[in-house]
A = this chain, B = another copy of it.
């Protein structure tokens, strides 16, 4: 029973009046705060300004006799592959280096499954009567939208504190129409959960009925701790290979939250056989992604140690912002029992689960007071949260002082929504 339920109707009315007055005062401040997307803030962007000029002379653009300014090298610069291999623990030969968006590499992998089929597809997915895809939820809305855009049937898999509910996943993959699963294995979007070793092992050892089942492994936050030491992770490509599933996994990562979100580089890591197959298709689509920018990143980021040192500096900027959000939730919401949340140590989100039925109304009130959050439901397939309770908070953009205002708005709105529900 939450604190409001134990109140008398009169007490609740008084509390509502008090909150309404505070809400109106906050609304009149004419705030315009955006916490809807996992975007780095300005201070983080400024941190990597040397990126801009790391190549400043034609001679800087030569690498192993290759002039990166010119055409060629479909799969990317060898040095860029080595950088990503160093970060992910896979082989450079397993890397395809893309443009500024790993999302595009994910989309294109699915698109090619539809138009041409994957390496082990009996036929292109467009020729299948039905394609079903597993969506651990709450999850990343853009993943689900890719699947939805291609007309797949989205299957919700509950997220546990250890990762996706593997009993359910193992049951579902017996269906040959189930063609894949979306995973964010480290600091999952939005819960910030790190899949535990057993979950990762069970995913690598899946025995899907579909020969072209795709383990879509979006390692978006692989080096993105904001609290504590770097948490190592296993190379999913090796794990899958050891289980006879070498061609099942497609891993994605990018520098979007290491350098510039609007101008980074990305990677698709997959088995050498997958690379051969996919690159033959990609050769029709592009001559190569931007190699000048790849070289900028190689020169600027250097290697894993250097990247981790840079991430520690990002962490210093992000940590107070996450603390601010968590502190306010702890102080304002925890005593009332209106919601629960994870306390992540990395990634870009805090995932709040309110009492059932409060998410949409809370965010509606927030929006009216100038605080924009990810729409309620977005973290579930088809944008529909069956319990209307999950809210994704992205604290990275606003400075701490604005953040604490925004969180005050949020807490007031959640309380008002809870009181409205009881009225």
Contact = CB atoms under 8 A, between A and B. Distances in A.
A124 B101 CA distance: 26
Interface in A250-286: 256, 260-263, 281, 284-286
Nearest to A53: B56
Contacts of A292: 260, 262-263
Nearest to A38: B71
6 contacts: A69-B261, A71-B261, A99-B99, A100-B288, A111-B115, A142-B284
Given A107-B286, A285-B104, A290-B263, A71 B115 contact: no
A37 B286 contact: no
A289 B71 contact: no
A55 B263 CA distance: 13
Contact of A99 (B114, B146, B290): B290
Given A45-B58, A100-B290, A39 B262 contact: no
A373 interface: no
State the number of copies, please.
2
Interface of A: 37, 39-40, 42, 45-46, 49, 52-53, 55-58, 60-61, 67-72, 99-101, 103-104, 107-108, 111, 114-116, 124, 126-127, 142, 145-146, 149-150, 256, 260-263, 281, 284-293
Contact of A293 (B58, B72, B263, B284): B263
A103 B49 contact: no
**Chain B CB within 10 A, most for which of A68, A256, A261:** A261
A150 to B, nearest CB: 7
A49 B53 CA distance: 12
A125 to B, nearest CB: 10
Nearest to A49: B58
